[in-house]
Structure 1
Amino acid sequence: MESMELKSRVLVIGALGYIGKYITIASVKLGHPTLVLLPRFRSPDPVQDEIIQSFERQGVTLFKGDIYNHSRLVKAIHAVDVVISADGEDPTRTIAAIKEVDSLGLWLIHVGRFILVGVPIDVDMTHAALQPSEMKLQRWREIRRFVEQSGVPYTFVVFHILAGRCFGRSNSQQSRFSLPLKIPLCGTGNTKVAFSVEKDVGMYTILAADDSRTWDKTLYIRPPGNVISLDELVSLWESKTRRSVSSLRRNYISERDLLQHYQEAQPQEKKALASLHSAFIRGDQTNFRIDTSVGVETSQLYPNWNYTTMNEYLNRFL
């Protein structure tokens, strides 16, 4: 077994966030000395406080600070080899702190890396048909260019659709025969999308931390078993519940109806509808081939990691 001394030291920014906690857990599980940046060591939110305590029990080092406290951020980065930003915020402050450590001769550039997690699509391969999605995509393109031009080795992680966000967390209030899907069947229901299970996102991110094959590239979490249409998901559920084909009521929303709803929606709802249109009607997640000169796919890099397929994921709702 590889010794802990050979593992990179990892800093997770945004460890209390939805995906950040999975990255932190995976880091510890794979034997990386792991540090998390926290504004406080106890939270008034009982859920977050339990996460913090679980980090402590697992041996995670808690470091007080945030991205707005530059001196504390620099000190935290000084203590690690890999910085993972999982808070979904603009990383320009973090990059500035990394470069300051580098200028002091403290950043081991041949080991060090910045990993940016938090965008579910490849913003350079997508041009949304609806606002405000295109404005958000353009902002993330600018962030990518900033990171690329910083001189800091980087990896962009694209995790696509998180399964936990699309499915109910419990079947306690679900009919055994009702697919616990939170989104409607958009368009024809046949557009392929890519799902990721949260724990797999955490594991793949950490596997990439010491992998030179992912340096200065986009890491796509798009395993073939999870590239699937919504109609195929419904059919999977029918087979698991032993219902006849097309026995479940399939509620489709046409592109025309979605666009009409979009025009009448409030700003916050417009964001959600624009995302649905991009993924489930336009197929922006899967309608391109990965350019291997700038991108890598996780299941090809790590074939020995048994990721959770959507077929397996649905079993938890039976």
Structure 2
Amino acid sequence: MASMEQKSKVLVIGALGYIGKYIAIASVKLGHPTLVLLPSFRSADPVENEIIESFEKQGVTLFKGDIYNHSRLVKAIHAVDVVISADGGDQTRTIAAIKERFILVGVPIDVDMTHAALQPAEMKLQRWREIRRFVEQSGVPYTFVVNHILAGRFFGRSNSQQFRLSLPLKIPLCGTGNTKVAVSVEKDVGMYTILAAHDSRTWNKTLYIRPPGNVISLDELVSLWESKTGRSVSSHKRNYLSERDLLQRYQEAQPEKKNELALLHSAFIRGDQTNFQIDLSVGVEASQLYPRVNYTTMNEYLNRFL
């Protein structure tokens, strides 16, 4: 591991993915020489090209390769001190090549604290559990990052002003609407991940991004929005979706939609994100570990829809 005076080098795998780009940018902003593993320096996807160009402008080093090209993967890993994977693919190839430090990010719940979820989500969670066991047995110091619900995905990214103004009221209130979930803002996930990557207090532990200002129920979220807009929606007019109706939608859904509905059921009906206390022997909460980070609260985040 690099000394404190010499910033350690970071490799981000999955940097073109939804959360990966925030991690790469946070790494550069915190002064770490940062590499991203890319299959190509130009993409047929214009959005990916914009991300790549932003990496270049901010000083990120582009490294050509992918997790299936073993020689390139090993070369990239050996060039850095810390490997952060935000890639949902086969992690075992990556882990087998790492010698110093590994961070696994991009999981919305603690898979070891969540069981018997609806399929196909449970199958996916079981695969993540297997990856965790593989990491633990590798002997490499690791941190599992649980980012919970990502705000940008949850609220959508519509540029329509009319849509934005009514957006929080369009979110269906699953179950009673009182179940607490944890919402993370993407740039904060990036910042917390990089800080944890270079902090021995997180070694061989799970980092939960669960700041108190963002542990909130959907009913509370709507009430918060009402207080900002001065528009009140009576409880009987709120858009509730009962567990029975959610399960009915799940049964009728196409396979690709079932996973999303299963995760909604896990978070908003069962409360799998917040129904347990963090075991401090194996886990830490990000905002408690880094109190100087001014994370974005849901109260602040909703202002962008005004």
Both proteins in one fold, TM over 0.5: yes
Alignment match, 2:304? 316
The correspondence for 2:119, drawn from 128, 131, 138, is 131
Contact 1:238–1:246 under 8 Å retained in 2: no
Matched, 1:241 2:232: no
- Distance, in Å, in 1 between the alignment partners of 2:13 and 2:170 is 29
The correspondence for 1:122, drawn from 91, 110, 114, is 110
Contact 1:4–1:31 under 8 Å retained in 2: no
Alignment of 1:214-293 (within 5 A): 214-244=202-232, 246=234, 249-293=237-281
Coordinate RMSD, CA, aligned = 1.7
- Distance, in Å, in 1 between the alignment partners of 2:154 and 2:146 is 17
- Distance, in Å, in 1 between the alignment partners of 2:262 and 2:42 is 37
Which structure has greater helix proportion? 2
The SS at the match of 2:272 is: coil
Contact 1:168–1:180 under 8 Å retained in 2: no
- Distance, in Å, in 1 between the alignment partners of 2:175 and 2:192 is 31
Alignment match, 2:137? 149
Consecutive unaligned residues of structure 2, counting only runs of 5 or more, are none
Give the CA deviation at 1:11: 0.2
Alignment match, 1:57? 57
Contact 1:8–1:209 under 8 Å retained in 2: no
Give the CA deviation at 1:40: 0.8
Give the CA deviation at 1:176: 6.7
The SS at the match of 1:16 is: coil
Matched, 1:68 2:71: no
- Distance, in Å, in 2 between the alignment partners of 1:113 and 1:150 is 11
Give the CA deviation at 1:247: 7.8
Alignment match, 2:43? 43
- Distance, in Å, in 1 between the alignment partners of 2:237 and 2:156 is 18
Alignment of 1:52-201 (within 5 A): 52-98=52-98, 102=99, 112-170=100-158, 172-174=160-162, 178-180=166-168, 183-201=171-189
Q: 1:247 to 1:187 in 2, by over 3 A?
A: closer
What's the CA shift string for 1:111-146, capped at 9, x where partnerless? Answer: x31000121100000013421121111111111000
- Distance, in Å, in 1 between the alignment partners of 2:235 and 2:54 is 43
Q: How many residues align?
A: 304
Which deviates the most, 212-221 or 270-279?
270-279
The SS at the match of 1:40 is: coil
Instruction: Normalising by structure 2, report the TM-score.
Output: 0.95
Contact 2:171–2:239 under 8 Å retained in 1: no
Amino acid at match of 1:138: Q
Q: 1:201 to 1:126 in 2, by over 3 A?
A: same
What's the CA shift string for 1:270-313, capped at 9, x where partnerless? Answer: 11111111000000000000000000000110000000000100
